[in-house]
A and B are shown apart, each in its own frame.
Chain A
Amino acid sequence: DSGVTQTPKHLITATGQRVTLRCSPRSGDLSVYWYQQSLDQGLQFLIHYYNGEERAKGNILERFSAQQFPDLHSELNLSSLELGDSALYFCASSVASGNEKLFFGSGTQLSVL
């Protein structure tokens, strides 16, 4: 168990809908990262938050947004969902914002039908 909690584990929804994925980092970790793993594009970095502030953006679509709350949990919001958004979405956390080891949650499997 990495100590990073992601909910829900599975999510099935329809095109055009909006969903929210939740991540609770390890106790004491200030950084949260979101990654997408899809069959087409492999693993891609989406976004990084550190202590409530956005630090870096990767290949995140404009239909996607994220935030980190004062209690350090993070949410990834996906809207106007398309079939191609079906993927495994990982959250990872680390103590600070450097090159420490990342600890990954078990992911949320999103299926858009």
Chain B
Amino acid sequence: AQTVTQSQPEMSVQEAETVTLSCTYDTSESNYYLFWYKQPPSRQMILVIRQEAYKQQNATENRFSVNFQKAAKSFSLKISDSQLGDTAMYFCAFMKDSNYQLIWGAGTKLIIKP
């Protein structure tokens, strides 16, 4: 069975700093997808970034980028020039290629301080 581990329950950084959230996963699959979702206090679940395992190039979305290390089964999220609006819970999630169910980590609470 697949598992997703986020080892940082909570992090806080100053506005404009760069922060990296960690995620590791366990799978025997070769084809899969990895996601980072953001859940602000409004509770809305918002997709931040998506990575396809067969692509070696790390995904980027504006200030958000990932460091995908397939062999190490690691998928970290880097947020550059952090903003107050980035304050939220961040969830790492895994999806097997043949099965469209997201398997979620426990989440990291990120606080951006002014």
Taking Cβ atoms with an 8 Å cutoff, the residues of A that contact B are 2, 31, 33, 35, 42-45, 48, 55-56, 58, 88, 90, 92, 94, 97-99, 101-104, 106-107, 109
Listed in ascending order, the chain B residues whose CB lies under 8 Å from chain A are 33, 42-47, 50, 52, 91, 93, 95, 97, 99-107
A-B contacts at CB below 8 angstroms, number: 52
Contacts of B47 in A (CB 8 A): 101-103
Taken together as a complex, chains A and B put the C-alpha atoms of A90 and B102 apart, in Å, by 12
Residue ID in chain B nearest A104 by CB atoms? B45
Contact A97 B100 (CB under 8 A): yes
A90/B95 in contact, CB under 8 A: no
Given A45-B102, A48-B101, A2 and B44 touching (CB < 8 A)? yes
Q: A101 vs B95: C-alpha distance in the bound complex, in angstroms?
A: 11
Residues of A within 8 A of B52 (CB): 99
